[in-house]
Structure 1
């Protein structure tokens, strides 16, 4: 995201009930999820066709801002709690492809992101459709099973995860689900499944307040897809 626009997001007053987008941006969807997060999906003037952005808030405010393209590649990611950002390399070895996932039922990927703060990170994994569908608030979701291994700048494994996520073909996006996350020192379960889909004009659209599983102590690994 343009740096000035990111500053606008960060400047939102603490405790505000409604989330404010940068000028020139329009939101089209709010998703309330488990693990005490609420995400707002939006598009901005001047962005390439197919690019969509997402801002995620937790109990303490803004946690993540990122952008994906029409193939759901992670174009850019900004992590507020760690203070680092990542951008997709120019020519990934095996780009993520939403189209391939829909056409064949499976997609593999192998790409790197570049960060001024932490250097290169390599992501290697696969997504596959399970055949399970679910409808929430009129939005039809298809379940995926996934696995991913993440390597640090020196080639060392930093973490890995596997589990089930969801995709929306209408919005061309992934939504988090249930995962098992493993680091060299720890392993834990995560459930960030969507609970509500809220559209413009509906109560709770652009709310700054997550609703589900809040108040619990949870370990979170900064994963955004």
Structure 2
């Protein structure tokens, strides 16, 4: 999860979502408008599609192994769809969701920012996100782009409401772009007593007339990252040793 990167999604063939990261390109009928190079070896490409509602936009996230996540949001920064090609999960916003903060309200520093959101997978299984997100009155400039800070604390439960992961910390929002970005914080997977620090803050904002626009290769904090292909190659080499 990023700053309020709450999962939602169900892939539709009409959106021509890419199947393989190595061959990724903006889908037919879609147009890219922003690339964000972030810490923790991640790059995100943002695009809009003519078949979508005019207020919808997509984000495609990549790491050293390629495409890792596809997320669709609206003008209120509410996440409607998410596709995880590695896990094979495909989630969509569930009508039973009772509290999904709107960006317009967050930007008015509305204190009522509780999040209670259900998503349903293609297999019918439910995922539940519980917590809060707020925009705080603090301006930040990154790569010449003015942003506002967010603060959040969100947990993820599946099926029988068993908590499986969570994240808390600070993020960023660009009010005019209607986009939220990851920041610094801490997260856990499985063990709620074992939060680990992380920082996925944006570093570079790349536009259509600049080198690196729509790149799928992350460039920051990648020195210690090893792709799964490299790990497999090393394992195979060891097997060949006498």
TM (norm. structure 2) is 0.81
Tell me which residue corresponds to 2:213.
Answer: 205
Mapped partners of 2:45, 2:219: distance in 1: 14
**Matching of residue 40 in structure 1 with residue 51 in structure 2:** no
**Matching of residue 140 in structure 1 with residue 146 in structure 2:** yes
Give the aligned length: 213
**Matching of residue 152 in structure 1 with residue 158 in structure 2:** yes
Structure 2: give runs of 5+ residues left out of the alignment: 1-10, 227-242
CA drift of 1:126 comes to 1.1
Choose which of 155, 164, 167 in structure 1 pairs with 2:170. 164
Point out the more displaced range, 105-114 or 188-197: 105-114
Point out the more displaced range, 192-201 or 99-108: 99-108
Choose which of 134, 137, 142 in structure 2 pairs with 1:131. 137
SS at match of 2:105: helix
Choose which of 85, 88, 100 in structure 1 pairs with 2:93. 88
* Equivalent residues of 1:122, 1:152 under 8 A apart: yes
Tell me which residue corresponds to 1:194.
Answer: 202
Mapped partners of 2:162, 2:185: distance in 1: 21
Mapped partners of 1:119, 1:211: distance in 2: 36
Mapped partners of 2:126, 2:179: distance in 1: 25
TM (norm. structure 1) is 0.87
CA drift of 1:11 comes to 4.0
* Structure (1/2) with the larger strand percentage: 1
- What pairs up with 1:1-225 in 2 under 5 angstroms? 1-3=11-13, 5-7=15-17, 9-11=18-20, 14=22, 19-106=24-111, 107-117=113-123, 119-185=125-191, 186-217=194-225
* Equivalent residues of 1:84, 1:118 under 8 A apart: no
Mapped partners of 2:52, 2:122: distance in 1: 22
Structure 1: give runs of 5+ residues left out of the alignment: 219-225
Q: Larger C-alpha radius of gyration, 1 or 2?
A: 2
